[in-house]
Amino acid sequence: MRSEEHGRTTDHGETTDRGGTTGRVRTTGRRARRSLPMLVGAGAVSVSVAVLGISWIDVPGSRDRAAGALSETAAAWSAAGPPPTAARVPWEGGPAYYGRFAAPAAAGWTNPWFFPVGVWFESVITQDDANKDRAAGINTYVELTETSDMALVRKNGMSALTSVPLPGHGKETVGWLLNDEVDMWAKAGDAGWTGNHPGEGPLCVPEDKGCGFTVLRTRKEKVPKGDGRLHYANYGKGVMMWERDTDAATFVNRFTDVVSSDIYWYTSASVCLDGQNFLSLPASRCRRAANYGAVLDRQRELDALDGRRQPIYGFVEVGWPAENDTRAIQPQQVTGAVMSALIHEARGIIYFNHNFGGPCHSQHVLREGCGKKVRPAVTEVNRRIGRLAPVLNTQSYAHRFGTGLDTMLKHHQGSYYVFAMPSANTAPGRRTFTLPRGMRATRAEVLFENRTLPVDAQGRFTDSFAAEYSHHIYRITP
């Protein structure tokens, strides 16, 4: 991503090998082509391979079969909750994770009703700025301009993660942003860093070596120490596609307490070519909401390698990000991308709020006229996140609901919640859900849609998904 207000830019527009040469795929020493992982729901899944880190390999249905077998052999599910033997999806601990850090804990991040919904690189100058952001469901600023009024951020109950301590900062600042897309502009490596950023001159010493690890170590040394604040970094195509698995894992695991990656599947001019070259992703499957969830899967695989899990946030564009992009994201695509990220265990959502391309340039898409088409959809999906925060903040259960489905299963206060979309390699249409054995229910309430579906004696119900980005949330109370 990039921000002109920050004085630096990062190029999204070229397919690049690890040495920086455009237009080629580097294959020396590694298999360059991976396949996009789909860890939940029917279809291809990713299998971790011990040799040389992670290899993204499509194995049709193996995750589904495993999850299905677990739920079938376990004790019956009931209104009291899943049986003790029910398989759970690994997680970092939910809101309790933030209790390890004094600053986010003091800011209320351990509250089950809090779910981070952030916007990238905003400015907060007036009360109207804060009013518009809060009305859209934003509760966190991920980077702010130096002109921002931190007392105003604090007064409005907002949180912030910034790259430097801004004037007047206080309890609203819960973490430090170490860097953005350093995996792309500095590459993996321990070479010396000049202190420059893209467009400012030579980056690494020597120039043909990577210095991304050095950049992050240097940044960690410069931010205040022992102040109880999180360390956060955002990555991009380096971690997701270009880098060796061992280097990608180093970026994800060595420096941060919270992490994210931004791949703009709906809008990027080059992402489909990158997907073909590096992930063996067919062009027909490129511009889909499911790929935003796949980015979460990739990060979660890498994050698990050191045995210490951290929250991973989803990143979604809300406009026309880059100058060379040829399209803007549509409202229904935004909500589909957000839902896919949540289904794939995102612990927060961050919106890229800048238009550098298209007919309407803006640094504040969700506040200004450039975002009038997409803002209602963003506001509504954020409202739903807020309503369901206590559910989202619980550990998920593994269960195969049926073929052609990408799902997440939660249990909260006597009800089960099923978040569902079409799986990535299937067409939209009707889907049949089969509940876990022993879960007796007569109906499934479709939240936010004012309708219910009958559940038959075998624990099955059917619903339709009109498009690849369509999604439904069901509440089932046995």
Whole-Å CA distances, 473 to 9, 449, 463: 38, 9, 11
Cα distance between residue 461 and residue 441, in whole Å = 10
Cβ atoms 198, 126 nearer than 8 A: no
| Structure confidence by residue, pLDDT tens digits, 443-458 | 999 999 999 999 999 9
- DSSP codes of every residue in 272-318: HHHHHHHH---GGGTS-THHHHHHHHHHHHHHHTTT----EEEEEE-
- DSSP codes of every residue in 113-148: T---EEEEEE---SHHHHHHHHHTT--EEEEE-TT-
Mean pLDDT of the chain: 88
How many C-beta atoms surround the C-beta of residue 283 within 10 A? 10
Segment among 21-25, 366-370, 373-377 with least mean pLDDT: 21-25
Structure confidence at residue 61 (pLDDT) = 35
Report the share of the chain in percent with pLDDT over 90: 83
Given 3.40.1000, 1.25.10, 3.90.550, 2.60.40, which CATH number is that of 62-89+398-476? 2.60.40
Nearest Cα neighbor of 398 from 408, 390, 388 is 408
| Structure confidence by residue, pLDDT tens digits, 270-315 | 999 999 999 999 999 999 999 999 999 999 999 999 999 999 999 9
Structure confidence at residue 13 (pLDDT) = 37
SS3 call for 382: helix
SS3 call for 384: helix
216, two tokens: 């992050």
Nearest Cα neighbor of 87 from 476, 395, 473 is 395
In the chain, where the domains are located: 4-15+91-392, 62-89+398-476
Cα distance between residue 77 and residue 408, in whole Å = 16
Cα distance between residue 61 and residue 38, in whole Å = 10
Indicate if the pLDDT at residue 105 is higher than 60: yes
Identify residue 331 by its one-letter amino acid code. Answer: P
How many C-beta atoms surround the C-beta of residue 443 within 10 A? 14
Counting Cβ atoms within 10 Å, is residue 109 exposed (0-12), middle (13-18) or buried (19+)? Answer: buried
**Please, which pLDDT band fits residue 128 given cuts at 50, 70 and 90?**
very high
Cβ atoms 320, 361 nearer than 8 A: no
* 206 upstream amide cis, omega within 30 of 0: yes
- CB under 8 Å to 99, separation ≥6 — which residues? 105, 110
**Please, which pLDDT band fits residue 75 given cuts at 50, 70 and 90?**
confident
Whole-Å CA distances, 12 to 237, 263, 270, 305, 319: 9, 9, 7, 28, 15
* 269 phi and psi angles, rounded to 5 deg: -70, -30
Indicate if the pLDDT at residue 55 is higher than 80: no
**Please, which pLDDT band fits residue 79 given cuts at 50, 70 and 90?**
confident
**CATH T-level fold of 4-15+91-392:** TIM Barrel (3.20.20)
**Mean pLDDT across 246-251:** 98
Indicate if the pLDDT at residue 168 is higher than 50: yes
Cα distance between residue 178 and residue 247, in whole Å = 17
Structure confidence at residue 179 (pLDDT) = 97
